[in-house]
Amino acid sequence: MVNDTCQGISFVINNIASYGGDPDRIYLMGQSAGAHISSCALLEQATRETKNGDGVSWSVSQLKAYFGLSGGYNLLDLVDHFHNRGLYRSIFLSIMEGEQSLKKFSPELKVQDPCIKDSIPLLPRIILFHGTGDYSIPSTASEKFADALKEAGASAELILYDGKTHTDLFVQDPLRGGKDDLFDHVLATVHSDDSDALAKDAMAPPRRRLVPEILLKIANNISPF
């Protein structure tokens, strides 16, 4: 999946202009497993660039920023948590093709590896988002990854949302309408160098509610996340 993700990013970077996009304004974002896989891809690409550069079709420097939402970045820490949540250890290890893969695909551990220290400066700005009420992947996963990134010398920020669950930030909150903190934080980053866009953002009308609150509460009660 990491290689597939790298290839997907490569396609976007190398073809965005032909679709009318701006190659100087490309952002990478992933949620949950997507945050994990995309962060693995980011580190994998940075490592390839500093090793020999052979076959490199894109550079992490072409990304303006990386957003990780509710991700898990240290699989060794999460195995028991997933097991207790119903994703049993044997199944998870089968998916990961063995316990030996857990460290390899744990970005938090990878950034601490001295062998890739030359790759760290290549990384774009990294912003991690997580709800403190997330019981699918605890917010400590993002906290520890942010600390590891900063310790390694990367540009990393962490934004925590009090009481938000694994899906609140990108499902329930947008459906509620009104203020959407995650959307506002992402937009503020994307428009950080565009004063006109920021001014328009500030004047934007409130977002309308799309779903009655009672339905969101029912969904929250039955959702496994």
| Residues that are catalytic | 32, 134, 166
Q: Please check whether residue 169 is in contact with residue 70, taking contact to mean a CB–CB distance below 8 angstroms.
A: yes
CA-only gyration radius of the chain, Å: 18
> Which tokens in the block code for residue 18?
């032909």
Q: Please check whether residue 69 is in contact with residue 129, taking contact to mean a CB–CB distance below 8 angstroms.
A: yes
Sign of CA dihedral 140, 144, 149, 155: positive
Distance between CA 108 and CA 141 in Å, rounded? Answer: 9
> Which tokens in the block code for residue 107?
């970005």
Nearest of 74, 141, 157, 82 to residue 110 by alpha carbon: 74
Q: Please check whether residue 71 is in contact with residue 142, taking contact to mean a CB–CB distance below 8 angstroms.
A: yes
Torsion of CA 199, 201, 206, 209, to 10 degrees: 180
Count of Cβ atoms closer than 10 Å to residue 1 Cβ = 13
> Rounded to 5 degrees, what are φ and ψ at 19?
-100, 10
